[in-house]
Amino acid sequence: MARLSLPIADYVRAYGPHISDSPVRGWDHKPTVEKLVKTHCCFCGMQCGIQLQVAGNQVVGFEPWEEFPFNEGRLCPKGVKRYMQTHHPDRLTSPLIRTEAGFREASWDEALDLVVRKVREIQAKQGKNAFAMMSGVSLSNEKSYLVGKFARLALNTANLDYNGRFCMVSAGAGNKKAFGIDRTANSWSDLPEAEVILVAGSNVSECFPTLMHYIWQARDRGARLIVVDPRITPIGRTADLHLAVRPGTDSALNQALLAELIVHGWIDETFVRTRCSGWDELVASVATCTPEWAEAITGVPADQIRSAARMWGQAKTSFLLHARGVEQHTKGVDNVLSLINLVLATGRLGRKGCGYGTITGQGNGQGGREHGHKCDQLPGNRDIENPVHRAHVCKVWGITDEELPHKGKTAVEIFEDIHEGAIGGLLNICCNPMVSHPDLNYVRAALERLPFLCVIDFFMSETARYADVVLPGSLQEEEEGTTTTAEARVVRIRAAVSPPGEARTDTWILLELARRLGRADKFTYADNQEIFNELRRASSGGTTDYTGITWERVEREMGVFWPCPSEGHPGTPRLFEDQRSYHPDGLFHLHTTAYRPSAEVPDAEYPIYWTSGRSVFHYLSGTQTRRIKFLVDKAPGPLCEMHPELATRLGLVDRQLVTVETRRGALTVPLAVVESIRPDTVFVPYHWPEALAANQLTVRALDPVSKMPEFKVAACRVRAATADEATRARALFAELRLEAPEDAARTRRQVAP
């Protein structure tokens, strides 16, 4: 069982996160740059173009890539500093095997043989599906595809899922229900042509700063902006109309907006009657959804709802954007569908300045959800239970249907099965469940019960501390490949340097494990380009068709938009120009979305809404960004945002240490008294681990369709921290600013003999 061998502080001293404030050669000794490598940022779904400066097989700096058409050289604070992680002192450089005193270094043969032996032992004892795999969508398209094939053919398990389960699955499910395809409907270049932009549940300015350029272009042309968010985020401060919706009530707001469009005739009757299904049922479902009804549920004044409907309804062109704020709910799919209804009801789709987009959060959150490392998916965004889809992939892989596992468990369900003993082994690559999963105390208990855990990562994550084997993998800039941006543009990732020390590429590790598991015959790739070419064949004929996309073409054209069914096809920056969906009937499918409460709402014992999100200075679980001093200086740890009215009522003051409690856990953090949040709601960002982890507080309840956890709503209470809680919190914050030792490897040997 995987209880930690050492106190957490000892792992931190040995493996980090330590903060580093300079490039690999320091600020004063920058070598002559030998080459500039055009590639892309490793962080969010914008995948901004960037040029890495390389000298002596080390990334020593960067330059803007002004020619790349999306960001034209612009970068956010994370993008500017991303190169400083490549040769960070915390990089894992040799395989590690768990001991009673922490970890010891091991050879690759010893570590890989141990993993293979454990896979065989666990599966022989409990069955094939007792060994599971968790993956992440910071992996390239090639590695995402490889993970899906590796899990099903080498591990022969159905239980594969990925951290996109916490990011894009509600949006994807809603898109497929409405459109028959899962991607944003337009490239971002359509945004400046919109007369009205509606942003629901997205802190664009902090989470996707380079996308703001397109919104500012629209504003410069006179576009009006509606922002829906419980907080007045930076983009909300610039909006013509900010709708401060109560957490968890988005679908009620959207139903009232639709009802207003219908009442005033702001509907494209021809479009909804000839190009959509379900219109009459939808109209009937919102007949009583007045602005006053919605105000009672959402807290948004009825006159603001009418104003928003008027802005949207009277526009000739419009663009609707949404992200995790509406998706990370037990009714996330309904929230997405209720927004799509607003787009379809007005018929503003498939033409210049008229669009819809779900903003992808993770680096390859788009490509990573297309090619098969979801539990229910095969390459090309095919359904793993569809016999025709299975037959196509089986032919590409050279296997029979009996050899291909069926649908497995989703991410949260995998950890529930670990708790119950049904899963005895887990291979985890490029994700950090000990920060990113809901109800972290439950996750910790699961890992402590897990008989065997192997982690592939480039840093010692909080999850890797629980591992029996840690295999040092690669960063994005250490492998050739592609990713797919949030606007469905496939772009090239170039290997700027090789992994340090004894670290290996993720691809090498997976292929070597496959060989040792006896499936080398199914993984005979000479390089990553061969993997991509097989991905193209596997995607052919699917909705996510990459057939016509080649590495050479991607480089030449600076990206190609899918679907692209042949090499002569121009790609598809804008969907639905022919007014047809990707459903077999060609119609756009409208769906009723009756409002229902969140899994947990405030009550007398826990009377405050709790919600969470991101900071501009950190990325997801913080495994990368919590190691870069500039970013840590700007956001050293979590805060609890609270409105002055609520702070006064509770007798709390700005910067006081407070304890936030839900039914699952508690954390102590400084209070930030701000006017930019609803008086009934508090907000805590989630990038930090252990006792400072916001996800200690979250609910494990899932959307019934997407299996997305309810990250955005919980019931909490807040009080002044006790003396003991305050002392512990100060110690934890001090630990976050731990400087890297001069000889990190020597420190590791001392702590982990």
**Domain CATH code at residue 106:** 3.40.50.740
- The span from the CA of 210 to the CA of 71, in Å, is 6
302-314 and 291-298 helices cross at what angle (nearest 10)? Answer: 120
Are residues 370 and 638 in contact, defined by beta-carbon separation less than 8 angstroms? no
In a domain, 419, yes or no: yes
Please indicate, yes or no, whether residues 189 and 306 belong to a single structural domain of this protein. Answer: yes
- The span from the CA of 128 to the CA of 119, in Å, is 9
Helix (H, G, I), strand (E, B) or coil at 499: coil
Helix, strand, coil shares of the chain, percent, nearest 5, are 40, 20, 45
What pLDDT score was predicted for residue 725? 96
In a domain, 549, yes or no: no
What pLDDT score was predicted for residue 733? 87
- pLDDT bin (cut points 50, 70, 90) of residue 1 is low
Please indicate, yes or no, whether residues 194 and 274 belong to a single structural domain of this protein. Answer: yes
Domain count, the chain: 4
Least Cα distance to 326 among 347, 363, 298 occurs for 298
Quote the distance between the C-alpha of residue 719 and its chain's center.
32
- The span from the CA of 116 to the CA of 468, in Å, is 13
What pLDDT score was predicted for residue 750? 44
- The span from the CA of 418 to the CA of 279, in Å, is 44
528-539 and 387-397 helices cross at what angle (nearest 10)? Answer: 150
Lowest-pLDDT choice from 67-76, 390-399, 690-699, 725-734:
725-734
Give the chain's radius of gyration (CA, Å).
25
Last residue of a domain, one of 89, 107, 138: 89
In a domain, 745, yes or no: no
Other CB atoms within a 10 A radius of the CB of residue 725 amount to: 18
pLDDT, one tens digit per residue, over 161-173 is 999 999 999 999 9
| Residue 149 buriedness (CB in 10 A; 0-12 / 13-18 / 19+) | buried
Least Cα distance to 711 among 435, 377, 297, 428 occurs for 435
Query: How confident is the model over 376-386, as a mean pLDDT?
Result: 97
Query: How confident is the model over 150-179, as a mean pLDDT?
Result: 97
- The span from the CA of 708 to the CA of 741, in Å, is 40
Query: How confident is the model over 99-106, as a mean pLDDT?
Result: 95
In a domain, 242, yes or no: yes
Lowest-pLDDT choice from 21-35, 91-105, 217-231:
21-35
Helix (H, G, I), strand (E, B) or coil at 524: coil
Strands 96-99 and 102-105, how do they pair? antiparallel
Tokens 């549920």 -> residue: 297
Q: Is the pLDDT reported for residue 516 higher than 60?
A: yes
Query: How confident is the model over 381-408, as a mean pLDDT?
Result: 98
What pLDDT score was predicted for residue 746? 46
- The span from the CA of 638 to the CA of 670, in Å, is 8
What pLDDT score was predicted for residue 663? 98
Please indicate, yes or no, whether residues 221 and 312 belong to a single structural domain of this protein. Answer: yes
Least Cα distance to 140 among 358, 359, 373, 323 occurs for 373
- pLDDT bin (cut points 50, 70, 90) of residue 742 is low
Lowest-pLDDT choice from 284-288, 414-418, 491-495, 629-633:
629-633
- pLDDT bin (cut points 50, 70, 90) of residue 446 is very high
What pLDDT score was predicted for residue 740? 62
Query: How confident is the model over 360-385, as a mean pLDDT?
Result: 93
- The span from the CA of 24 to the CA of 477, in Å, is 15
Please indicate, yes or no, whether residues 40 and 103 belong to a single structural domain of this protein. Answer: no
What pLDDT score was predicted for residue 24? 82
Average pLDDT, the chain: 95
CATH for 82: 3.30.200.210
Q: Is the pLDDT reported for residue 745 higher than 80?
A: no
In a domain, 44, yes or no: yes
Please indicate, yes or no, whether residues 206 and 265 belong to a single structural domain of this protein. Answer: yes
Are residues 139 and 295 in contact, defined by beta-carbon separation less than 8 angstroms? no
Least Cα distance to 226 among 321, 138, 96, 142 occurs for 321
- For residue 153, the 8-state DSSP code is I
CATH for 209: 3.40.228.10
- The span from the CA of 41 to the CA of 76, in Å, is 10
Helix (H, G, I), strand (E, B) or coil at 37: strand
The values of phi and psi at residue 150, to 5°, are -60, -50
* Ramachandran sector of residue 614 (left: φ over 0; alpha: ψ -120 to 50; beta: rest): beta
Q: Is the pLDDT reported for residue 354 higher than 70?
A: yes
Please indicate, yes or no, whether residues 429 and 514 belong to a single structural domain of this protein. Answer: yes
- The span from the CA of 73 to the CA of 93, in Å, is 32
Q: Cα angle vertex 603, ends 597, 609, to 5°?
A: 65
In a domain, 102, yes or no: yes
Please indicate, yes or no, whether residues 443 and 536 belong to a single structural domain of this protein. Answer: yes
Please indicate, yes or no, whether residues 122 and 211 belong to a single structural domain of this protein. Answer: no
Please indicate, yes or no, whether residues 182 and 272 belong to a single structural domain of this protein. Answer: yes
- For residue 211, the 8-state DSSP code is G
What pLDDT score was predicted for residue 748? 53
Q: Which two tokens stand for residue 395?
A: 């032919």
Query: How confident is the model over 428-454, as a mean pLDDT?
Result: 97
Q: Quick one: CA dihedral 688, 690, 695, 697, positive or negative?
A: negative
Query: How confident is the model over 502-518, as a mean pLDDT?
Result: 98
Please indicate, yes or no, whether residues 273 and 326 belong to a single structural domain of this protein. Answer: yes
- The span from the CA of 370 to the CA of 339, in Å, is 23
In a domain, 13, yes or no: no
What pLDDT score was predicted for residue 741? 62
- The span from the CA of 622 to the CA of 436, in Å, is 10
What pLDDT score was predicted for residue 26? 79
Contacts of residue 386, Cβ cutoff 8 Å, sequence gap at least 6: none
* Ramachandran sector of residue 434 (left: φ over 0; alpha: ψ -120 to 50; beta: rest): alpha
Other CB atoms within a 10 A radius of the CB of residue 518 amount to: 11
Q: Is the pLDDT reported for residue 370 higher than 70?
A: yes
Last residue of a domain, one of 303, 330, 358: 358
Domain of residue 106, residue span: 96-167+364-479+497-542
In a domain, 589, yes or no: no
Please indicate, yes or no, whether residues 648 and 507 belong to a single structural domain of this protein. Answer: no
Helix (H, G, I), strand (E, B) or coil at 19: strand
Least Cα distance to 357 among 336, 374, 381 occurs for 336
Q: What is the DSSP string of 546-601?
A: -TT--HHHHHHHT-EESP--STTS---SSS-TTS--SSTT--EE---------SS-
Please indicate, yes or no, whether residues 701 and 730 belong to a single structural domain of this protein. Answer: yes
Q: In what order do the strands lie in the sheet with 224-228?
A: 241-243, 224-228, 196-200, 318-322, 355-358
Last residue of a domain, one of 35, 58, 89: 89
> Is the bond preceding residue 89 a cis peptide, omega within 30 degrees?
no
Q: Is the pLDDT reported for residue 329 higher than 60?
A: yes
